[in-house]
Amino acid sequence: MNSFFSKKCEYGLQAVLYLTAQDAEFLCSAEEISSKLKIPKEFTSKILQDLTEKGIIISRKGREGGFKLAIDPNQIKLIDIVEAIDGLDILKNCVMGFQNCNKETKCPIHSEWMEIVNKAYRMLSEKTIDKLIVKSFNIII
């Protein structure tokens, strides 16, 4: 089954979950995250850079450098990570790709799709990373 989000966004969600599972003061290298999560190395640095630019994680350069969460995990909502990586257009665009699909000019499945989108948006906006780490930890490691 295909994901709702891009592979890059999936990896971003996994990386933030991984960082959440680590000691709050511990810095993880991009190589460690890539290796532990089996994320292609070419994606890892870009994903971590995007998350850093959005203030979700912080980075430190140098021999003792790495990445960790910038804010408390109970303040990081899933929607924050999705927005940082994919943006929110997926929640606005027509699932069938029609450019002029909107409330007035609806595609054949507009109403049903908007129900799904609205439910997904609510869930992503309510769920914080700290609530997911216990369930996800066994999947990640």
The enclosing domain of 16 has a CATH number of 1.10.10.10
Number of domains in the chain: 1
- Separation in Å, CA 134 to CA 59, 110, 141: 24, 36, 12
83 lies in some domain: yes
26 lies in some domain: yes
Q: Is residue 44 scored above 80 in pLDDT?
A: yes
1 lies in some domain: no
- For 42, the domain range is 7-140
Give the pLDDT confidence score for residue 63 in this predicted structure: 83
59 lies in some domain: yes
Give tens-digit pLDDT for 109-118.
988 988 998 9
Please give the Cα distance from 62 to 65 (Å, whole number): 5
Give the pLDDT confidence score for residue 1 in this predicted structure: 42
Q: What are phi and psi of 60, to 5 degrees?
A: -130, 135
2 lies in some domain: no
- Separation in Å, CA 53 to CA 37, 96, 100, 129: 22, 32, 33, 18
Q: What are phi and psi of 50, to 5 degrees?
A: -60, -45
38 lies in some domain: yes
Give tens-digit pLDDT for 45-101.
999 999 999 999 999 988 888 999 999 999 999 999 999 999 988 788 888 888 888
Q: DSSP per residue over 113-135, as a string? A: HHHHHHHHHHHHHH-BHHHHHHH
27 lies in some domain: yes
Query: pLDDT grade, residue 3 (50/70/90)?
Result: low
Q: Is residue 105 scored above 80 in pLDDT?
A: yes
Query: pLDDT grade, residue 2 (50/70/90)?
Result: low
Q: Is residue 137 scored above 60 in pLDDT?
A: no
Query: pLDDT grade, residue 4 (50/70/90)?
Result: confident
Query: pLDDT grade, residue 41 (50/70/90)?
Result: confident
12 lies in some domain: yes
Please give the Cα distance from 94 to 74 (Å, whole number): 32
Task: Pick the more confident residue, 126 or 4.
Answer: 126
